A and B are shown apart, each in its own frame.
Chain A
Amino acid sequence: DAGITQSPRHKVTETGTPVTLRCHQTENHRYMYWYRQDPGHGLRLIHYSYGVKDTDKGEVSDGYSVSRSKTEDFLLTLESATSSQTSVYFCAIRWERGGLTQYFGPGTRLTVL
C-alpha cells in the first residue's frame, strides 16, 4: 500500500464543464504522475510532477492541466470536459530510493456525457 487516495472515485459530468481530480499521498513522495487508461491504449502519461510547483507534460497532455501546491496533493483539471476524456484516471507515485517503480492509486472513473 503506497498510501495513495484518489477522489472522487466515480464522476459523471457533462461536456463543457470543468472537472478536478485529486490525488493525495501521505508519505512525502517527491514524484507523482497522472495516467489515463483506455481500451487498446494501456496506460498513457498525462502529466507528472517532480516536486512542489514542478510539473511537466506527458504524451497526452492536451486538454489537461495540473497543479501541485503542496507535496501531498497533485490535482488534475479538465478545463472543459469532452467526451473523449471519458476514461479511468490513475495517479501514481515513485519512491526516490525505489528505482523506477511506480505505485498506483485506486483510480477515478470519469464519464463525460
Chain B
Amino acid sequence: DQQVKQNSPSLSVQEGRISILNCDYTNSMFDYFLWYKKYPAEGPTFLISISSIKDKNEDGRFTVFLNKSAKHLSLHIVPSQPGDSAVYFCAASGNFGNEKLTFGTGTRLTIIP
C-alpha cells in the first residue's frame, strides 16, 4: 500500500521555465512533508519541508505548496536550471511516536538547455 505517491516517473522542462513536481498521500495522519533531491551515485539531499499548519513554504527558487483537503503537495522550481536535473522524492511523516519518513517513488526531472 503506497501511502505517498508520485505518479509522474519523469518530467522534462525547458531551462528558465517553471518545474512542478507533484505528490499525493493517503494517510490523513501525515502532518509534515519534505522534498529531497538525489543525484546519481549520491545520497538524497534535503531540499525543503512544510508543516501541515502552513499551505506554502518558500526557499529561494523552491516553493512547496500543501493542499490538505486534497492530500496533495507540489514543489515548484522557478526558474529551472540545468543543475536541477535530478530525481526528486517527496516524503511524509506524522505524529506516530517514531518520526519515521515514508517516501514516494521519485520523479526524474530533466532540464533541457
Q: B100 contacts A99, CB within 8 Å?
A: no
Q: Does A44 contact B (CB under 8 A)?
A: yes
Q: B101 contacts A107, CB within 8 Å?
A: no
Q: A101 contacts B49, CB within 8 Å?
A: yes
Q: Does A64 contact B (CB under 8 A)?
A: no
Contact-residue bracket for chain B: 20 to 34
Q: B34 contacts A106, CB within 8 Å?
A: no
Interface SS, A side:
strand
| Chain A residues with CB under 8 A of B59 | none
B84-104 residues with Cβ-Cβ distance < 8 A to A are: 89, 91, 93, 98-101, 103-104
- Select from chain B the residue with minimum beta-carbon distance to A50: B98
The segment from A12-20, A35-43, A66-74, A78-86 that touches chain B is A35-43
Quick one: which of B32, B91, B103, B105 contacts A99, CB cutoff 8 A?
A: B32
Q: A56 contacts B34, CB within 8 Å?
A: no
Q: Does B44 contact A (CB under 8 A)?
A: yes
Taking A42-B89, A106-B42, A107-B43 as contacts, is the C-beta distance between A101 and B34 under 8 angstroms? Answer: yes
A71-100 residues with Cβ-Cβ distance < 8 A to B are: 90, 92, 94, 99-100
Q: How far is the CB of B9 from chain A (nearest CB, A)?
A: 8
Q: A42 contacts B100, CB within 8 Å?
A: no
Q: For B32, B36, B45, which residue has the most chain A Cβ atoms within 10 angstroms?
A: B36
Quick one: which of A40, A45, A100 contacts B34, CB cutoff 8 A?
A: A100
- Select from chain B the residue with minimum beta-carbon distance to A107: B43
| Chain B residues with CB under 8 A of A56 | 98
Q: A42 contacts B104, CB within 8 Å?
A: yes
Residues of A within 8 A of B (CB): 4, 31, 35, 40-45, 48, 56, 58, 90, 92, 94, 99-107
Q: Rank and list the top 5 A-B pairs by shortest CB-CB distance, nearest first.
A: A104-B43, A42-B103, A42-B105, A43-B103, A100-B93
Sample (19) of A-B pairs whose CB atoms are under 8 Å apart: A31-B99, A40-B105, A41-B105, A42-B6, A42-B103, A43-B44, A43-B89, A43-B101, A48-B100, A58-B100, A90-B43, A94-B99, A100-B93, A101-B34, A102-B101, A104-B43, A106-B42, A106-B43, A107-B42
